[in-house]
Amino acid sequence: MTEEEAKDVLERIEYELSLGQPHTATQIVIHDLGLWAYLEKTSGLIASGGVLFDRPVLLEPKCDASFTVMSKP
Q: What is the pLDDT of residue 5?
A: 92
pTM of the model: 0.77
Q: What pLDDT, in 10s, does the model give residues 14-66?
A: 998 888 666 788 888 889 888 888 888 887 656 556 888 888 888 888 877 78
Total count of residues recorded for the chain: 73
pLDDT at residue 4 is higher than 90:
yes
Q: What is the pLDDT of residue 44?
A: 66
Q: What is the pLDDT of residue 48?
A: 54
Which of 66, 62, 63, 68 is closest to 27 using CA atoms?
68
What is residue 59's three-state secondary structure?
Answer: strand
H or E stretch covering 70 = strand 67-71
pLDDT at residue 6 is higher than 70:
yes
